[in-house]
Amino acid sequence: MKVQLRISALIAISAVLFTACKEEKKGLDLEPIPASFLGLGEDLPHEQKVLLSQDVNFLKDNDHTPPAEIWIATKGSEKLAAANRKNLIDEAKRLLGVQSFSGAELYQWLQDRIGYVVDQSYDLRDRNNYVFLGPHQFENPSICPGCWDAAPMGFTFNAGGAYVVMSNVGGSFYLTGKMNRRLVGARIPGHGVVPVSSFRTGILRVGPGLFKYEGKDPRSVVNKINRLATLFHEARHSDGNSEHIGFPHAVCPRSYPGFAGTEACEDTLNGSYTIGAVAEQVMTEHCFHSGQCDRGDANYLRADYLDSFRRVLDGTTGELDPKPEGQRQ
């Protein structure tokens, strides 16, 4: 039987950074790549492989428990009476579904949702990157959000200094398979063909915006935390099922200057912006109160996680089921 490949037009869900982007090597091209769970594509620059591997190992090798008295800085929380504010530790554990903020547990949280990282040049429109591996029984086979949308794949723009930071593109392969009722494999540089039987396969495409250094060494703790927050954001896009598979972003209205008309907001209280912000607040407050970050670094990171919390649309009240669809092979 001849099967026509219909590629899902699911928009790759991206984190977007409005800033000038300066990427520096600073000797990283000479450093060895530490071992980690990340399947790093051969197309990635060596220095990016080094930094990403160092980041997840920093996460694993350190405890990140914040002080007990801090409240979570979700949108609108500053207006609540002290008695109604939610404790950061309790709420972050609930949202992430973790028992602690040990490095091992947070590392495992990412490992469950991220498998591979490829360069921004990885082309989702290249049919050679899609390999049919045979019939497959999908969960919710009649529900395939975005599958027949005519919108182009990928969410990449460079207007006013905006750059793609990172996008979770594994869903394009999963939904392409679902449309065709076939398991589809992704051809990953250096890793061969990877079966995409779930969004949890976790294929991330990284852009230059992730490697901005704000005048500090790229290996500094503040930059590690900033990049790790993006990994937590993108890892959330590997969760969800049925109509809300992948925790898709929502279009920002006019009341969000700089983002109006872009899919850079969300209409759920446990989506990717919230997860990334929660993880960043946990790591930031531990870093500051343990003396690893100075006040300037902490305030820079605080501004970043507050911006992510603000991406939740006004009036949002509900949460989505994070249970993943399918199982990663």
The β-bridge partners of 132 are 184
Distance CA 242, CA 303 (A): 34
Tell me which of 34-48, 161-175, 232-246 is least confident.
161-175
Mean pLDDT of the 266-280 span: 96
| Cα–Cα distances in angstroms (integers) from residue 94 to residues 90, 118, 130, 212, 273, in the given order | 6, 31, 37, 31, 16
pTM, full prediction: 0.90
Nearest in space to 118 (alpha carbons), one of 230, 204, 186: 204
298: pLDDT strictly greater than 90: yes
Cβ-proximal residues to 277 (8 Å cutoff; 6+ apart), any chain: 73, 74, 229, 305, 306, 308, 309
Q: Report the pLDDT value the prediction gives residue 256, as an integer from 0 to 100.
A: 86
Q: What tokens appear for 211 in the block?
A: 């490697």
1: pLDDT strictly greater than 90: no
Alpha helices in 238-294 (DSSP H): 272-289
DSSP 123-144: -TT-GGGEEEEEE---SSTT--
Identify the band that residue 44 occupies on the pLDDT scale cut at 50, 70 and 90.
Answer: very high
| Cα–Cα distances in angstroms (integers) from residue 303 to residues 116, 236, 309, in the given order | 29, 21, 10
326: left (phi over 0), alpha (psi -120 to 50) or beta: left
Angle at 240 between CA 239 and CA 241, to 5 degrees: 135
Mean pLDDT, all residues of the chain:
86
For residue 184, what is the enclosing H or E element? strand 182-188
Mean pLDDT of the 172-193 span: 94
Q: Is the dihedral of CA 243, 249, 253, 255 positive or negative?
A: positive
Q: Report the pLDDT value the prediction gives residue 41, as an integer from 0 to 100.
A: 97
Identify the band that residue 18 occupies on the pLDDT scale cut at 50, 70 and 90.
Answer: very low
Q: For residue 310, how many C-alpha atoms fall within 13 Å in the half-sphere facing its CB? A: 13
Type of residue numbered 262:
T
Q: What is the pLDDT of residues 111-164, one digit of tens each?
A: 999 999 999 999 988 989 999 999 999 999 988 887 765 333 333 333 344 456
